[in-house]
Amino acid sequence: MQRLGPWSREAWAALALQLLRPPRAPCAGGTRDLGPQQMIIREKILTAVISCFKRHGAKGLDTPAFELKEVLMEKYGEDSRLIYELKDQGGELLALRYDLTVPFARYLATNKIKKMKCYHIGKVWRRESPSITQGRYREFCQCDFDIAGHFDPMIPDAECLKIIYEILNALQLGDFLIKVNDRRILDGMFAVCGVPDNKFQLISASVDKLGKMSWKDVRQEMVGKIGLAPEVADCIGVYIQQHGGVSLVEQLLQDPKLSQNKQALEGLGDLKLLFEYLTLFGITEKISFDLSLARGLDYYTGVIYEAVLLQTPARQGEEPLGVGSVAAGGRYDGLVGMFDPKGRKVPCVGLSIGVERIFSIVEQRMEATEKIQVTETQVLVAAAQKNFLKERMKLIAELWDAGIKAEMLYKKNPSFLTQLHYCEETGIPLVAIIGEQELKDGVIKLRSVASREEVDIKREYIVTEIQRRMSES
């Protein structure tokens, strides 16, 4: 994929309409079919993602599409209501998995694994209304990378952020920003501002809406809906509207209120160390310490992060506008212990790549800039005259046996023009033509579909010639 220039506001608006467009029948609401062209694009994305995961030493993992209901419940905060529950199956209460993190934690506990680095690709299901999800479907694919085990602080966390950086760069999606925060800083901030313990979770969910909603609306929700005292909400507002780099971390370490809270100090200390490692990895220009980042899932215990694409400013001096999260993750040190009979904890940190939003963006760009070949076929075996089916079958078998990706039309006597049209429609670059004269001369005529140039190749060299041309393309 070639790198594209910045998108205009009109282009982003067109993408938004595409994301919000309801799926066509007969798919269920919030799901969609993917045709051959779309599958090629998805495979390109997944190849780039998996290649990065493997480069960092991850092993593959898969878990069932459904879990015992008790495994999933009470892990996602208010989003637990979005879990798809299944009917009683022979005495088992089951539910479709909501994400890949909880099944991974259950897998570690079940198999008594204390150290693992793995990637996990699979579909998940959420009972959301597709009319309000803005590109989030009820069924979608997640690509997760996780590191489990006891290690020195912030080293695996820094690697997870580096992986997000590498993947977004490789996919050439445009400018992006990775926001980081720490749940301990949030909890410490809530405590020093005077939030009652029983409202931490509700206030955290409200804070996470900043960016989607204005501070005025978030404050109104805190005060009017949750019942927080106005002065407490104002105290929170002073903190969560701040963002910056390591200098903000250092500033908050000296904050008169936060510096008196043990949890906040621990979180700020780890973030300072994280920024030191991210500097060594050379990615701090894409990292922002954002105190409004909350990540609503209950299982996060430490560092959290979220990557967003940035819309190019229309006028000089404007702030870049976020156009949606494309990756997220964080540290969840207590989740495995929830599934262990003895409560033994295995510290974990991980990330999830948002394939659906990335897919929509890459799909629109590729359709606008390049013809998408829907197959990987390298050569079509064709005949210019009738009664050459057996010769075509012999030749294609020879090509298949040599590992060449080849096709032929499933007709005894297809017209030559039909065979050439098929190549043009599907993007097949070469045609291997056999006819009476070629058979008599012991050659195969090799035709380039793009240039229409034809050359006779001795039959015994046809495999070598096709392989040479494919290696050069």
Residues at the binding site for L-histidine are: 99-101, 126, 142, 146, 295, 299-300
Angle between helices 462-472 and 389-401 (to 10 degrees): 60
d(CA 137, CA 141): 9
- 309: tokens are 């694409």
- In angstroms, the Cα distances linking 342 to 52, 339, 348 are 35, 9, 18
Give, to the nearest 10 degrees, the angle between helix 230-240 and helix 183-193.
Answer: 140
Strands 176-182 and 287-290, by their bridges, are parallel
DSSP category for residue 413 = S
CA nearest neighbour of 338 among 11, 71, 67: 71
Give the rounded distance of the alpha carbon of 215 from its chain centre.
29
At 122, list the tokens: 């699979």
What is the longest distance spanned by two Cα atoms in the chain? 94
Identity at 420, one-letter amino acid code: L
Q: Binding site membership: which residues?
A: 99-101, 126, 142, 146, 295, 299-300
User: 36-55 and 355-369 are packed helices; what angle lies between their axes, rounded to 10 degrees?
Assistant: 120
Q: What is the DSSP string of 163-217?
A: HHHHHHHHHT---EEEEEEEHHHHHHHHHHHT--GGGHHHHHHHHTTBTTB-HHH
